[in-house]
Each structure stands twice: as C-alpha cells, then as structure tokens.
Amino acid sequence: MPDTPTVVATPRSRVRVPLRFQDGYEADAELVTFHGLADGQEHVAVVLGEPGPVPLVRLHSECLTGDVFGSARCDCGPQLREAVERIADRGGVLLYLRQEGRGIGLYNKLDAYALQDQGLDTYEANAALGLPEDARDYTAAAQMLRALGIGELDLLSNNPDKADQLRTLGVDVRDRIPTGVFTTAHNVRYLRAKVLQTQHTLPLAALTELSAG
C-alpha cells in the first residue's frame, strides 16, 4: 500500500473543453493539469457539473484500445462514457490517469493480449510476462484530489483496491458506487477474472453463465 503523500501538488492550468461522444451525448468539462505529481505522469482531472461537498469521483486508467478505438476486449470505453454522464449529472471529477494496462504500459498490455489468446486470463498473462497483476499506485490521484480541495468523496468504481488505496492515502471515501456492467462476447472472461482475482463488484453468476455459453 502507498504511504500518504508528503509532496503537495498544485493546479498548473485549467481549460474549458466541450465533450462530444459518438452517441450524441454532450457535456462541458473543465480540464485541470498539475505540478508536483509524485509519478511525473501527465494525469488530468476532468471536472464535470457542479461538485458539492461530497462529489462523485472516478479514477479512470487510460486505455487506448478501449477509450479511443472502441475495443470490445475490455469495458473501459463504456465505463468512461457512463462515468462522464453520471458525474456531470451529480457534480464531481473524473481523474484520467496515464496507467495503461493496469500500469504496465501499452506494448506490454498488447503482449499480454497475445498470451490471453492462448488461454491465459488477464492476470495470468501479466504474471507470465514477469509483470505485476496490477501495477497501479494512486498516490498521484490523492494529490490531485487534495489540489482540487476534495477530501471526502463517493467513488464510482467496481474495484475495491482503488477505495482502499485512497483511504490509506488519507482520502475519505464515503461510499463505493459500482459502475454498470458492459459485457461483450470478447470481454466476459476478462470481467470474470476481475471478480475472481481482485474482487471487483460484478455479478459473477451472470458472467459465469455468459462465459460458459
């Protein structure tokens, strides 16, 4: 688990950006960049709606294949689209974190995909490459939240590790709210592995039935 960050991050710039999605949904956002992030990555906060005392927050790890190209091998693209609308409706922040492939990088993620095509699940494939199952550290995310004045939040996530790390880092996660379930013929095994290996909040029985079918 990470330690509470001692380096203080500060906002670097703020810019208004109108968001337009392929399904026609639109939202106005403020994108915030930062100085002093612990990992030196170019993470971005997407502020949506009118955040209240307990905003809705999602930590969304970058996924080029899912977010940009619409890959059906994961649920990242639909989760991103859903999160923007839900956060805009309530008011809050989406932290877009440059943590491709659960922190192993794009090329390694694609190497892991090749091993998954041979029968390994998403975690076994990482291990076979000599990589962590999940290399993500949310210290920078906690810094970003503090820089935005957010100390208490509801977390939009199926992943208990995100909430656990934020709490360890001194952020008050009041509640963890599951995202929707976005299954395709290509991602059911991936989603089922997340439930079995890292206790994601997803309906295991339904995913098992879909995987078997």
- Dist CA 169 CA 70 (whole Å): 33
- Give the DSSP letter of residue 18: E
Catalytic residue annotation:
134, 136
Structure tokens at 195: 């439930």
Single out the residue of 191, 186, 197 nearest to residue 206, CA to CA: 191
Contact 75, 60 (CB under 8 A): no
Residue among 95, 87, 89, 62 at smallest CA distance from 76: 62
Collapsed DSSP state (helix, strand, coil) of residue 195: helix
Cα three-residue angle 159-29-51, rounded to 5 degrees: 65
Please state, in angstroms and rounded to a whole number, the distance separating the CA atoms of residues 202 and 123.
17
Comparing C-alpha atoms, which of 143, 165, 167, 178 is closest to residue 56?
178
Alpha helices in the chain (DSSP H): 76-90, 106-116, 122-128, 139-147, 160-168, 188-198, 204-212
